[in-house]
Structure 1
Amino acid sequence: MTKSSIGYGIIGCGMMGQEHIRNIALLPDTHVAAIFEPDPGMLAASLAMAQGARPAASIAELLAMDEVNCILIASPNHHHLAQLEEIARLRPLPVLVEKPLFTDAADEARIVALKARLPLVWVAMEYRYMPPVAAFVEQAGDATGGIRMLTIREHRFPFLAKVGDWNRFNRNTGGTFVEKCCHFFDLMRLILKSDPVRVMASAAQAVNHLDERYDGEAPDILDHGYVVVDFASGARAMLELCMFAEGSRYQEELSAVGGNGKIECRVPGPGRFWPQHLGAAPVPELIVSPRNPPGPRLIEIPVDPRLLAAGDHNGSTYFEHARFVAAMRGQGEVEVTLQDGWWAVVMGLAAERSAREGRAIELADEFALPT
């Protein structure tokens, strides 16, 4: 560890927090300096991974440590906003905060107040940084001649068990379209370079968690659905989510179509879930299909095995941290802003509302959109 090494203070070290620890360890001149994690088992596991890190009994104690230069928030969703506010109040360090930024439409105004109080906030949207998705984003405009239709499909495994089972209830997560799908709504805005105006959704809980009870209460999270989004540019996007489809070869599939052609991206799920008897896990693919002359072209985009071993997000967490550290050092810009994080949550909240009420949601009528 060098004197110039950046010391992370981590708030929340469950499954995702531990993935962040593994990826921070792969970066030069960064280290985990301190950890605040209330669960004893998770704290012990995290300290074993982050050699030399100090435990903190509170966020205030963590922020008081001189060796902490930046903060990573990877706590349960419903704590993110209050923890950002505590950091802003006590010691406004640069922050990388896991999605979603907030979980309740009533909290929109609190995001605006944070912009002036924190020097650097980066919202963690790992899917942007998956190598095959990044290639798709870079090439989609040229391949299509201007995207008119964008489709994102995720067919995956059910929600995993979390400490205290917090992720089984909408009041903690914001709902499945916020918790799971804010990634995809963020990608829609990034790819289409436009903001949404209307959201329509159809969804339900059909298979997962039906027999589970927590203190006598049944989970209320959605496990499948469709969301259609109209954008100001005139483009349309659709999300198809199924969380009882872990037998799929690919977990995420993206396609964009325009007047000149089509481009697709296929991303496998976490390697640890791939059936070993089937041999090697699939390699991510990019497929470019021009209209004239017709003829699909398939490009494999393998990911460094070290990065695959460090987490469940196709190497993206490493690239996300590399860019966050560069922004801290003045060598790059914040790529996922508070406004980006806000939009992703609002789109998810609108989808939840649309599915629940059976109507299209005009965003300008129901949310305080930024000007």
Structure 2
Amino acid sequence: MNAMDQMQNGAVGTGVMRYGLIGCGMMGQEHLRNIALLENARVTAIFEPDAQMLAAALALAPGAQACATVEDLLAIPDLDALVIVSPNHLHVPQLELIAQRRPLPILVEKPLYTQAADLERVQSFLASYPAPVWVAMEYRYMPPIAALLEQAQAATGGVQMLTIREHRFPFLPKVGDWNRFNRNTGGTLVEKCCHFFDLMRLVVQSEPVRVMASAGQAVNHRDEVYDGETPDIWDHGYVIVDFASGARAMLELCMFAEGSRYQEEVSAVGPNGKIEALVPGPGRFWPADLGAPPVPQVIVSPRRPQGPRSVEIPVDPALLQAGDHNGSTFYQHQRFLQVVQGVARPEVTLDDGVAAVRMGLAAQQSALTGQAVAL
């Protein structure tokens, strides 16, 4: 099914839903491009304090109103939904401000929060917020990973071991270099890896009970200085998670491996066999002299009869052009639009967002202390 067919299928209502975006840096602009692909949605208001990023955002959303503050954006009467794409440490105060001023349906970028001290505030918001909230764990919607999620139980007979490997490029520059410091991001195992902890819970279909990690900063950003400070953000690590079901999962992260053919490799194994998803990185980073970028694959390897079966899972070129996440941002917005239209519920809940951050914070703590952390 191509992108146009997907758009038509996703357009449930007849009225155009009007979105306000809070934060329009690199990821915010990916959200803008993907919302523009939806037939029944458009961005009508933007808050972005950086002048250069604001100009780029307004070019992507012609006719949208630029707002000087979040409060000004929330005062616009003709809004149906909000998308929060601000730096991580601003998510909780912005959610609280929205709850006070204008409780609309929200899609909030990951991570939901960045430090354990914020959990009580998030739980208070969760208990009282009257509108739906979707946490942006878009890796669920990468086509090869979605195929693995759909087939994992049948292919494995029940997942007992799950391995997620991400070998990728370093953190990209962001406005004000906010992503170079743990105090703003929650740390790499929260900022980057909450996606993978979310996938672990989905694939294993159980809850984590113990986290062990070893991680650090070996290569990236060590020669950078911002306002007299050297970045403290980690660039590699291993995390092992034990689940209540007895299953085990491992994350292997390396952020100085952009020469890899695939960026994410997910492997789930059970008594009946194995299923793998291979996901390439952003096509814009693939060297032109190497020809066409790799195509995502899913490989099913039964134990009996032996013999791996590999299937390519191509992604619509229009969706690849709209962002760096293999079309997943579009598929996420397609489903969120149905929530805004009142015909569906969030698939990635606040509880999911909390669970992923708890696992990331436990991994950060384990790596710092050298001790396993019970959840």
Whether contact under 8 Å (2:17, 2:340) holds in the other structure is no
Residue 352 (structure 1) aligns with: 364
**Residue 197, structure 1, aligned to residue 231, structure 2:** no
Residue 366 (structure 1) aligns with: none
**Residue 62, structure 1, aligned to residue 73, structure 2:** yes
How far apart are the structure 2 equivalents of 1:37 and 1:11? 7
Unaligned runs of 5+ in 2: 1-12
Superimposed CA distance per residue, residues 314-370 of structure 1 (whole angstroms, 9 cap, x where no aligned partner): 00000000100112223222100000000101100000000000000011xxxxxxx
3-state SS of 1:141 partner: helix
3-state SS of 1:147 partner: coil
How far apart are the structure 1 equivalents of 2:311 and 2:163? 20
**Residue 142, structure 1, aligned to residue 154, structure 2:** yes
Whether contact under 8 Å (2:80, 2:340) holds in the other structure is no
- Shift in Å at residue 193 of structure 1? 1.2
- Shift in Å at residue 36 of structure 1? 0.3
Residue 10 (structure 2) aligns with: none
**Residue 263, structure 1, aligned to residue 275, structure 2:** yes
How far apart are the structure 2 equivalents of 1:354 and 1:118? 36
Moved more, 312-321 or 61-70: 61-70
3-state SS of 1:228 partner: strand
Superimposed CA distance per residue, residues 112-155 of structure 1 (whole angstroms, 9 cap, x where no aligned partner): 11122241100001100001100000000000000000000000
Residue 103 (structure 1) aligns with: 114
Whether contact under 8 Å (1:132, 1:266) holds in the other structure is yes
3-state SS of 2:160 partner: strand
Whether contact under 8 Å (1:62, 1:68) holds in the other structure is no
3-state SS of 2:71 partner: helix
What amino acid maps onto 1:288 in structure 2?
V
Instruction: State the identity %.
Output: 69
Alpha carbon RMSD of aligned pairs, Å? 0.9
How far apart are the structure 1 equivalents of 2:92 and 2:288? 40
Superimposed CA distance per residue, residues 190-232 of structure 1 (whole angstroms, 9 cap, x where no aligned partner): 1111110100000110000010011111110110000000001
Of 279, 300, 315, the residue aligned with 1:288 is 300
Superimposed CA distance per residue, residues 61-113 of structure 1 (whole angstroms, 9 cap, x where no aligned partner): 10111222110000000000100000000010000000000001011111111
What amino acid maps onto 2:94 in structure 1?
Q
Residue 332 (structure 1) aligns with: 344
3-state SS of 1:203 partner: strand
Aligned residues: 362
3-state SS of 2:20 partner: strand
**Residue 175, structure 1, aligned to residue 180, structure 2:** no
Of 55, 58, 61, the residue aligned with 1:47 is 58
Of 27, 31, 50, the residue aligned with 2:38 is 27
Structure 1's 361 and 55: CA in aligned 2 closer, same or farther, altered over 3 A?
A: same
